[in-house]
Structure 1
Amino acid sequence: MPGRSEVAALPSSAALRAFLLDGVVPVGLSDMLRAFDRPIRDKARLKSILHDMALSGDLLDLPAGRLKTSIGLPETARARITHIRNDGTPCGILADAQAATPVVITTRAPDLPYPLPGDMVLVRLRPACGARRREARAERLLVRTEEALAFSRALGADGAPLDQLWACNPHIAGTFPLAAPEQHALPEPGEVVMATLRQMPDGTLAADSPIPYGRAAAAGMASQLSLLTHAIPTSFSAEAEQEGQHVAELAAAGHDQPAPANRCDLRSLPLITLDDETAQDFDDAIWAEATDTGFHLVIAIADVSHYVPCGSALDVEARTRGTSIYLPDRTVPMLPPSLSANACSLRPGQDRLCLFADIQITHEGQILGSTIGRGIMRSAARLTYRDAQAALDGKALPATHPVHALPTTLLPTLMAASHALDKDATKRGAMRLDEDAWAITFHPDGQPAAFLPRERLATHDLVASFMIAANTLAARIAHENRLVVPFRVHPAPTAMLPRPAARYSAVPGRHYGLGLPLYIHFTSPIRRYADLVAHRAISAWCASRAGPDKTAPAVACAPPRTQDYALASHLNFTERRAGKSVQDCQNRLTAAFLVPQIGQNVNIHATTTTRHGLCVRLTKTGTPSLLPWSAFPDYARMNDDSPYSGLAARYTPLIQNGALLMAVLLATCPARGVSVLASPTHAS
């Protein structure tokens, strides 16, 4: 019997792929060899073929579990890049994972020199180490995003314009030529164009078909570029707008009507809202009275879940956004204005459906009794933080001010109850986080006029203490009744991560910063999707407690039965995206504001050191920047190119965090929000 050919008889990659796609039963190497009538000695060669197929992406579409894990192939997956970190590291999610597992691409593929948000990449995953986030190396680019990007004329180290473009997204490194310079002229410095990146025959990328978009320093352009950079939706679908208008009509028709049978009537309580001067979405109202043992608190929260059913056009839009975004000169709401500023907003004198936390506390802030119920309320007044603080300080307010229609003891009682809650927070070791927030004022023409540190008033802390109390109660109820909600967790600092950020989690965990075993977001359902999800679950719990003798209508959206890991991952992404868009907008406004000071000395505060340079904050605007090590005097021969320079490279200037320094402002780029700094001795 003639021997088998060792080369020709092994199946091709195409034949193997067809065989694997044709079945669902798990198979191993022996199973495949039998199917193709090959001897057992071909195991190693077959595994080599499968290994190459895995790294080329040919095995991505196989049915789940089709290949036995005992084969030991590299774990590959499709990853969609969602954002680029400040250090240029691409981050995204596993596109085919039901839980939308987050992934960090630590090593780039040779054909991915410039990763962009929206790119689809084949990645090789590192072994999972318990954390939900995975690390991976990129193998190759699968699909390049076709979304248009904003570009402007690139600047050199001295601030002079170059014959190249750079993306207005400051986290996309590198410059790009025009794809057809004979057809399109370079934009003037300060002009913004929209273009797509096209791969040239030599493999490089170039900006194709630029379309003028406007001047980077024009009024409103800073926020517009920040929204474009992070692909944040700014308009609602026609279906969502239509649903929002219908909700507004329902809310208007329900005004001054008898309270529904399944809701507690709170309209006799003088509940008040406390917000900033520019706020339009009032989603919480508070009231308190003194008792013999302490205080009785009622915190009413707009019942958005009643009007936004799960799976509706409104719900899809809200989930996509994840949160409202408050830029210095505009607001991008999570819900259409017909809801966020009207039907769901707790406007004074208007009847609104709500969920309310009813809490009894002692003078030391300890909880005596608490529950959450469904109600209907009517705000007695809309106060600003500043006006409420003025009233508490005994300052005169205009006779027509709504504070005069309130009980004279209400504001002092609210403040006293807040002090009691603060006592309990101190006992449990809650951290007082000083917010480094700045307020930007504008000239009538829309240009930035001044950057001022945001004033922190006692009334800010008053509202915060009430909201923490309500959120803590909601977390306890959700946990005790096994409601599926996104929990808010905050890990304790470690040597590797000294300042961990709070995040959403599908499973409960401790909130280190607040010193609480459990915590959720519950008090802002108009502007945060996490709160809306919590409202749905707790509203269903309230309805289940109504009993057979009371009417309990079906809940708008039944809570899911399993932990929603994908939702927690998405909420963390949208929260980070919102924060980055706000910071990027402030950086762009700073770059425009500082143009008159180019060439002059500016004060900076050191914040931290990196291998690239000193991270600083501009004292005048509070915005971050980077002073590269090359900008410092070379006392340690750090920038020496001699053979002995490596010995000096380990030495960096000893600069204490918070130190006040001086630098020269060489240039600014409002399109990217970049301010180029140098030390006075290196500026010439």
Structure 2
Amino acid sequence: MRKGKDAIMRLLGKGEPVPYRQMLKALNVSRHEREHLDDQLDYLVETGEIAKLPGRIYTMAGAGGSVRGKLSMHRDGYGFVMPEDGGEDLFVPARYLTEYMNGDIVDAQVVSTRRDGKREGRVTGIVKRGVTEIVGRFEAAGKGGRVIPDDPKLGRDLFLTPGASGGAAKARTGQIVLAQITSYPSGVRPLEGRIVEVLGEANDPEVEVLSVIKKYELPHVFDAKVMEEAEREPQEVSEEARQGRVDLRERLIVTIDGETARDFDDAVSVSREGDKIRLWVSIADVAHYVTEGSRLDTEAYLRGTSVYFPDRCIPMLPEELSNGICSLNPQVDRLTMTAEMLFDESGARVDQKFYASVIKSSARLTYTTVKKVLVDLDEETIAANRHLVEDLKVMEDLALRLNKVRAGRGSIDFDLPEPQIILDTQGETTAIVRAERNLAHRIIEEFMLAANEAVSHFLETTPVPSLYRIHENPDPVKLQDLSEFVFGFGYILKVVDEKVSPNALQKLLEEVAGKPEERLINEVLLRCMKQARYSAENLGHFGLAAASYTHFTSPIRRYPDLVVHRILKRVLAGKMNKADKDRLEARLPETAQHTSKRERVAMEAEREMVDLKKMQFMRDKIGEEYDGYITGVAPFGFFVELVDLFVEGMVPVATLPQDYYVHLEKSHALVGERSRAMYRIADKIRVKVAGVNEPARQVEFALVGTLEKRPVEPIADVRNAYQRIPIKGKRPKPKRR
């Protein structure tokens, strides 16, 4: 019989998947020939010519499925392809990624599917390179040198060959540089490039910011022509501009923001009408100043969003607009778009209207001031704001009503602590504290949510093409895992037709509130959720349990809000014709995709900047001990967030007491086979700072001891793991992982 490639391909070429045992019979394979067949099958799977399905079933390549998406690399060499059209990521082993880099858009082939439904594949081709420039530390060597990337996911150094070193002659070893890639890795050829800019010394705070800006290719300087347009805009509202607008300047309207805020794009006002409350949410009319197709508009679209670092903002619009004529500063006239809504005593919206307006903010309030008035009942603050106190109380009443409505329909609130970075005048981190989120924050949050929902519902029912903020249902596989996970704690989460209602998740969060496992289940639930994004198609917002939702309230810092303003203004003016609708239908999908990508880039850059500041803060903390919670578990160790400092680091598995540790993915736990020690997400432990790796943006901890174990029965796969661990007889040789 022939058991070579040709015979296998002819058998599978008939189009039907073939189980292994059926293949043995069809090819007349004897017992001593099976090993040769297995080798052939493994080779064909590895080369991507055939695919292996669950149950050891083989089929031709392509039957397992193909994927196009963004490649996300791990520093250990393996990666995941995140499909452009959504769905489960495709795992790709390191052996298939020698010629590819983090961020590349690639085509990939599914080569096998495990019994748990997870897919494994190989990259078959490059669609678009994701990285063209690299920020890193320069090391001189001979006439050339190398650049060690700041991003550990790139997984390789960039080499500067003699004659192609560009600015290498000006760079000194240890300096941070920007290098342009001239040749991508191929076979035995390394990544090569040339230095195009020397950014400066590694520990200079300004260089650190510039490094992040360059790494994420953030536009941070407005060119002369854009600035010329911005500077032409008047800094006062003219009488002509007020014409045709509803005049709200006599109303008591306030802005409520953080202490350091400089751009105020929303102002609010309330009025009690019997049992009902009327709310005015007035938003800066940025569309009046940034006309579609202008240089300002093109630049705003390119940026997509403002980017916020601990010590600065990279604005979407020049300061002449963002902090000037568009900002709703107190005691000056400003052009706005207003959503006026009436809510009944239960918090239901019973009336709404939208219009162009002109306002004059009565006061610039901070969250702290409002908290002192409504929560702390601070007499001095109340006296200083006596003319605002009654309106603030009405705002509190309305916010509680709106929150009750949202909670009733299943809106999910993750009230997880966030860090606030405290910097000195040199830009160095002096403290990391819990960012306060008080009643004042909730008031503004509820009002903005209400305005966004009202505008979205109005545009959808008009109807006109629009841009929506959508949040899709959680992944079905993760939902099932969550259901099994919480069942081990005695909670029931019903998954019907691979879906779960927001009400069910909100009920679960209420049930675990105050319980030892509350943090654990909150963390696991958060990992099940998909990322919200922009879309030209309304798919609803799962997290808010909203049938229709958009972004309308921040046009100074988010381009999608500016798009929604333009659509709303044309509808209100009666100028939305068929040609406009056709144009919007053609352009909005691309706008949604672009702005979603820009939002993700901004979030990644902001997160890296915060992580960098945390690393600086931990430089002199080596050897000190802290309490913390396990926030994530992986085969190579677990991550810990410190209780007081809001710094996350990793405890490598190699530093744990000697044992062989089993990673239980569904249980989010590491279990020692000999010791039966279990380290599980949300466990409270004590750690010592072992080191700080600033280039990798990682703090390494060493385990000191376990402080708190939840008094609950381990769930099924933990119990099963214990049952597999031998109690008597010969134990397995301890291994490190």
**Quick one: distance in 2 between partners of 1:558 and 1:310?**
16
Aligned to 2:679, the other structure's residue is in SS state: coil
Which stretches in structure 1 are left out of the alignment for 5+ residues? 1-54, 56-71, 95-99, 128-133, 155-162, 546-551, 640-646
Aligned to 1:450, the other structure's residue is in SS state: strand
| 1:193 and 2:173 are equivalent in the alignment | no
Of 373, 377, 380, which aligns to 1:394?
377
Q: What displacement does 1:568 show?
A: 1.9
Q: 1:326 to 1:576 in 2, by over 3 A?
A: same
Q: 1:492 to 1:648 in 2, by over 3 A?
A: same
Q: What displacement does 1:527 show?
A: 0.8
| 1:668 and 2:724 are equivalent in the alignment | no
Q: What displacement does 1:83 show?
A: 7.2
Q: 1:179 to 1:652 in 2, by over 3 A?
A: farther
Q: 1:471 to 1:633 in 2, by over 3 A?
A: same
Matches within 5 A, 1:442-461: 442-461=423-442
**Could you tell me which residue of structure 2 aligns to residue 60 of structure 1?**
none
Q: TM-score, normalised by structure 2?
A: 0.68
Q: What displacement does 1:382 show?
A: 0.9
Of 572, 579, 599, which aligns to 2:596?
572
Q: What displacement does 1:602 show?
A: 4.3
Of 355, 368, 391, which aligns to 1:410?
391
Please list the CA deviations of residues 158-205 of structure 1 after superposition, one character each: whole Å capped at 9, or x if unmatched.
xxxxx9753112332234555459996998886423333454894122
**Could you tell me which residue of structure 2 aligns to residue 252 of structure 1?**
236
| 1:123 and 2:107 are equivalent in the alignment | yes
Q: 1:271 to 1:606 in 2, by over 3 A?
A: same
Please list the CA deviations of residues 528-569 of structure 1 after superposition, one character each: whole Å capped at 9, or x if unmatched.
111111111111111118xxxxxx99x999971347322222
Please list the CA deviations of residues 308-339 of structure 1 after superposition, one character each: whole Å capped at 9, or x if unmatched.
22222111111111111111111011111111
Please list the CA deviations of residues 575-613 of structure 1 after superposition, one character each: whole Å capped at 9, or x if unmatched.
211111111111111111111122444443211222333
| 1:593 and 2:578 are equivalent in the alignment | no
Aligned to 2:680, the other structure's residue is in SS state: coil
Q: TM-score, normalised by structure 1?
A: 0.73
Aligned to 2:537, the other structure's residue is in SS state: coil
Q: 1:575 to 1:665 in 2, by over 3 A?
A: same
**Quick one: distance in 1 between partners of 2:639 and 2:401?**
39
Counterpart of 1:113 in structure 2: which amino acid? T
| Structure 1 stretch displaced more, 496-505 or 374-383 | 496-505
**Quick one: distance in 2 between partners of 1:213 and 1:170?**
19
Q: 1:282 to 1:507 in 2, by over 3 A?
A: same
Q: 1:331 to 1:86 in 2, by over 3 A?
A: farther
Counterpart of 1:536 in structure 2: which amino acid? R
Select the structure with the greater relative contact order (CA < 8 A; seq sep ≥ 6). Answer: 1
Counterpart of 2:532 in structure 1: which amino acid? A
Q: 1:536 to 1:141 in 2, by over 3 A?
A: same
Matches within 5 A, 1:266-277: 266-277=248-259
Of 201, 204, 207, which aligns to 2:190?
204
| Structure 1 stretch displaced more, 442-451 or 623-632 | 623-632
**Could you tell me which residue of structure 1 aligns to residue 453 of structure 2?**
472
Q: State the Cα RMSD in Å.
A: 4.2
Matches within 5 A, 1:7-156: 89=79, 107=92, 113=98, 115-116=100-101, 123=107, 138-140=123-125, 147-152=132-137
Aligned to 2:263, the other structure's residue is in SS state: coil
Please list the CA deviations of residues 51-83 of structure 1 after superposition, one character each: whole Å capped at 9, or x if unmatched.
xxxx9xxxxxxxxxxxxxxxx999999x89697
Of 309, 314, 327, which aligns to 1:345?
327
**Quick one: distance in 2 between partners of 1:338 and 1:573?**
26
**Quick one: distance in 2 between partners of 1:283 and 1:297?**
16
Of 197, 200, 218, which aligns to 1:214?
200
Q: What displacement does 1:426 show?
A: 2.4
How many aligned residue pairs are there?
572
Of 432, 440, 448, which aligns to 2:413?
432
**Quick one: distance in 1 between partners of 2:88 and 2:230?**
36
**Quick one: distance in 2 between partners of 1:397 and 1:492?**
48
Of 228, 236, 240, which aligns to 2:222?
236
Counterpart of 1:328 in structure 2: which amino acid? P
Counterpart of 2:221 in structure 1: which amino acid? S
Of 367, 382, 395, which aligns to 2:349?
367
**Quick one: distance in 1 between partners of 2:581 and 2:556?**
16
| 1:484 and 2:465 are equivalent in the alignment | yes
Counterpart of 1:514 in structure 2: which amino acid? L
Of 660, 663, 668, which aligns to 1:636?
660
Aligned to 2:236, the other structure's residue is in SS state: helix
**Quick one: distance in 2 between partners of 1:558 and 1:345?**
33
| Structure 1 stretch displaced more, 174-183 or 598-607 | 174-183
**Quick one: distance in 2 between partners of 1:298 and 1:111?**
57
Aligned to 1:594, the other structure's residue is in SS state: helix
Please list the CA deviations of residues 252-287 of structure 1 after superposition, one character each: whole Å capped at 9, or x if unmatched.
251xx3774432111111111001111111111000
Aligned to 1:365, the other structure's residue is in SS state: coil
Counterpart of 1:500 in structure 2: which amino acid? K
Which stretches in structure 2 are left out of the alignment for 5+ residues? 1-47, 49-61, 112-118, 140-144, 480-527, 664-670, 706-734
Report if the CA contact (8 A) 1:267-1:378 is conserved: yes
Aligned to 2:600, the other structure's residue is in SS state: helix
**Quick one: distance in 2 between partners of 1:286 and 1:253?**
20
Q: 1:192 to 1:485 in 2, by over 3 A?
A: same
**Quick one: distance in 1 between partners of 2:301 and 2:591?**
9
Identity of aligned residues (%): 25
**Quick one: distance in 2 between partners of 1:556 and 1:143?**
33
**Quick one: distance in 2 between partners of 1:577 and 1:273?**
29
**Could you tell me which residue of structure 2 aligns to residue 627 of structure 1?**
651
Matches within 5 A, 1:314-353: 314-353=296-335
**Could you tell me which residue of structure 2 aligns to residue 606 of structure 1?**
630
Q: Which structure has greater helix proportion?
A: 2
